[in-house]
């Protein structure tokens, strides 16, 4: 049984029912303010968004990346922790072939143990590109890239958590970065994601042409106010809309931070199902965010 404050109804007519005096009004549910327990909470994401239907916004950033890929250029995505760098890279992985028909996209998570050594990195990259035999050396990697380019294909290498490469300099030497730079000059595109610019992570004092100087900067920050509001207002099938008071609390809490928006929406929606107050939901959201970003956002 729903309470009056849990549902909004619209009268659609009246019927005479057998055994009941007078006419019985018929109503249609227009808005449900409680969340059915059988419906999955869509705001579960705490790591990178991996499903296209759950990726939201970043239209300007995608437009820039599309332009760079169209010109067979590189790009470095820079931003603080948990701002959505991985989600954006994953989106590129999904849609780059729609932007450029010749694009063949490889996404490498450099925190993957298989990428901790040069041989492991080469094998992982080769398998992702679909090469029959993974390269055993940097020279073989360059040969495989050349073969793709000669066939009219456009290799796109997405390197997430780029800092990991620079923490393993005995494995990933200057020769490694020179090889990637050379492949980029031939027509391969690279998109990196890191917290710091590549100029801080590689060799800023390199007297030759340094690796980083072919990578324009794309800084990733919080959502704009309009986009944050759109995120909260967005209709999700089977999920009750947030009330104006709930929306205000979520937006004030999150300040446009994508993870904070996810977390606040998650706990407010859970509170609808459990009967908890909005204040209790926001306290849980604050605890959740502190666990992810102890120094704030």
All domains in the chain, ordered by first residue: 4-45+223-292 (no CATH), 58-219 (3.40.50.300)
pTM here is 0.81
CB atoms within 10 A of CB 97: 14
Q: Structure tokens of 107?
A: 């996404």
Nearby residues of 265 by Cβ (< 8 Å), 6 or more positions away: 43, 231, 232, 242, 250
- Residue 153 phi/psi, 5-degree rounding, is -95, 160
Closest among 142, 172, 171 to 157, alpha carbons compared: 142
Distance (Å, rounded) from C-alpha 286 to C-alpha 260? 9
The tens place of each residue's pLDDT in the chain, 297 residues long, gives: 444 545 555 676 666 666 666 666 665 555 555 555 556 899 988 888 888 888 989 999 999 999 999 999 999 999 999 999 999 999 999 999 999 999 999 999 999 999 999 999 999 999 999 999 999 999 999 999 999 999 999 999 999 999 999 899 999 999 999 999 999 999 999 999 999 999 988 865 554 558 888 999 999 999 999 999 999 999 988 888 999 999 999 999 999 999 999 999 999 999 988 899 999 999 999 999 999 999 888
Q: Which residue, chain included where needed, has tokens 């419906």?
A: 39
CB 257 within 8 A of CB 227: no
């Amino acid at each position: 049984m729903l309470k009056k404050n849990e549902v909004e109804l619209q009268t659609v007519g009246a019927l005479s029912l057998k055994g009941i005096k007078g006419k019985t009004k018929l109503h249609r549910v227009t808005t449900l303010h409680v969340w059915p327990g059988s419906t999955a909470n869509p705001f579960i994401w705490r790591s990178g968004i991996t499903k296209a239907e759950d990726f939201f916004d970043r239209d300007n950033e995608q437009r820039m990346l599309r332009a760079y890929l169209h010109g067979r250029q590189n790009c470095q995505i820079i931003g603080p922790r948990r701002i959505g760098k991985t989600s954006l890279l994953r989106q590129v992985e999904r849609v780059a072939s729609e932007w450029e028909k010749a694009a063949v996209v490889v996404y490498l998570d450099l925190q993957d143990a298989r990428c901790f050594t040069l041989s492991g990195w080469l094998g992982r990259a080769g398998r992702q590109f679909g090469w029959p035999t993974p390269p055993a050396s940097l020279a073989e990697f360059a040969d495989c890239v050349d073969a793709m380019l000669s066939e009219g294909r456009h290799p796109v290498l997405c390197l997430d958590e780029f800092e990991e490469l620079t923490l393993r300099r005995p494995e990933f030497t200057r020769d490694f970065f020179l090889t990637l730079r050379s492949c980029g000059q031939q027509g391969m595109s690279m998109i990196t994601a890191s917290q710091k610019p590549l100029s801080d992570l590689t060799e800023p004092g390199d007297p030759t042409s340094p690796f980083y100087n072919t990578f324009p900067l794309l800084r990733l920050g919080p959502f704009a106010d309009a986009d944050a509001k759109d995120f909260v207002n967005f209709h999700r099938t089977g999920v009750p809309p947030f009330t104006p008071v709930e929306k205000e609390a979520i937006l004030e809490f999150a300040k446009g931070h994508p993870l904070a928006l996810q977390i606040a929406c998650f706990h407010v929606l859970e509170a609808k199902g459990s009967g908890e107050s909005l204040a209790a939901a926001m306290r849980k959201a604050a605890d959740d965010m502190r666990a992810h970003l102890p120094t704030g956002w």
